[in-house]
Amino acid sequence: MDAVELAGTQAPDRFALPAAARAAAMISREIAYADPDPLALSEFDDRLYRYATTLLSTPHTSLLGPIIGDWRRVQAALARRLSPAVHIELTRVAGYLSFYLGVLSADTGANTSARRFATLTEQFAAQLDDRLLTGTSRSLDAAIAFADGRLDAARAAAARAAAVEDPYLHGWAAAAEVTLAAAAGDEPGVDAALARLRDRPVVRGLRHPGWPAFDDVREACVVADAMARLSVPGARSAGYRAVSITTPGTLERGWALGALATTLVNHDPATAGGVLDEMVAILDVRPSRLLSTRVHEILLLISSPPVDRAPRTAGAT
């Protein structure tokens, strides 16, 4: 009997009541048929997880098309009369898809697009009681500010992400604070953030959208980068270790190589140049504004005279 008008008793057309009732019937049917089927919702969840696990390893050109397509489909669905439960679920999906597009925009240098997607991610997070999406949104703000060279804004956003205290996001928030403090030359800030990074909770057996799972490989890259920026004793060994455990051709390998090259520029410029060549080869396949900026920073170190600074003790980190 779906969508079939049943015969009703005739009533006087006072106050245009029958017309309003017909509109009510139309709205009722819109609500009944607006929700995607459960399989479609399950597939969206699978795709969110797939994007999370490939966000930092797949070229932007391969990710942008599918993510934009999913993002448009979800936005179209949200414009319909959905049931409350489905509206909440699709809002969550839309928030993470906007996050992915914000990350990709920031790392390709599309600043305006990155900020728009970041704002939209924050708005979706505000509609939900979802700590992970809220913290992920704030971490995106930090990544965009860092890519723009606004260290103070990036550190403030990273602190807001850490304040959410979501176990899954803990490693990423602490890692961001380590990198940003090191970039700013804030050695006490680096030590405090490293302590938080070491104490991150272990999250196993669950699939999460947003950033990929923070693991020992990512931690090794973050620690090596911070040690290299601060000229900590043992930084070169940390750089070599990070390189040895990363996968060739990935952005993580690029960051590990960047940490290693930084420790070599004043002692072995030729080897540092070879390391930079490998970083550029990665960028040829997997463009990244952040990694390109790191290459530029190292080139400046190679072309500049060494800066004398008192090295920290090995126990400081």
Distances in Å between the Cα of 233 and the Cα atoms of 24, 182, 220, 313 are 73, 15, 16, 7
d(CA 263, CA 125): 41
Q: Which of 21-30, 181-190, 256-265 has the lowest mean pLDDT?
A: 21-30
Does pLDDT of 174 surpass 50? Answer: yes
> CB neighbours (10 Å) of residue 183?
18
Mean pLDDT of the chain: 88
Task: Give the integer Cα–Cα distance in Å for 63 and 183.
Answer: 29
Indicate the helix (H) or strand (E) that contains 235.
helix 235-245
Distances (CA, A) of 117 to 95, 126, 136: 9, 14, 13
DSSP letter assigned to residue 168 = T
Identify whether the C-beta of residue 221 lies closer than 8 Å to the C-beta of residue 251.
no
Residue 114: predicted pLDDT: 96
Per-residue pLDDT at 315: 43
Q: What is the pLDDT of residues 305-317, one digit of tens each?
A: 555 544 454 444 4
Q: Alpha helix (H) ranges present in 109-210?
A: 111-126, 131-147, 151-163, 170-183, 187-198
Is 216:301 a contact under the CB 8 Å cutoff? no
**Residue 42 banded pLDDT, cuts 50, 70, 90:** confident
The whole-number pLDDT of residue 6 equals 52
Tokens 């990694």, located at residue:
291
- Residues 243-288 pLDDT 10s: 999 999 999 999 999 999 999 998 888 899 999 999 999 999 888 9
Q: Which of 151, 147, 149, 142 is nearest to 121 (CA)?
A: 142
Three-state DSSP class for residue 151:
helix
Distance (Å, whole) CA 109 – CA 220: 26
The C-alpha atoms of residue 100 and residue 108 are separated, in whole angstroms, by 12
Packing angle of the helix pair 131-147, 111-126 (nearest 10 deg): 160
Q: Is the pLDDT of residue 2 over 90?
A: no
In terms of pTM, does the model score above 0.75?
A: yes
State how far the Cα of 178 lies from the Cα of 162, in Å rounded to an integer.
Answer: 12
Rounded distance between C-alpha atoms, residue 294 and residue 279, angstroms: 10
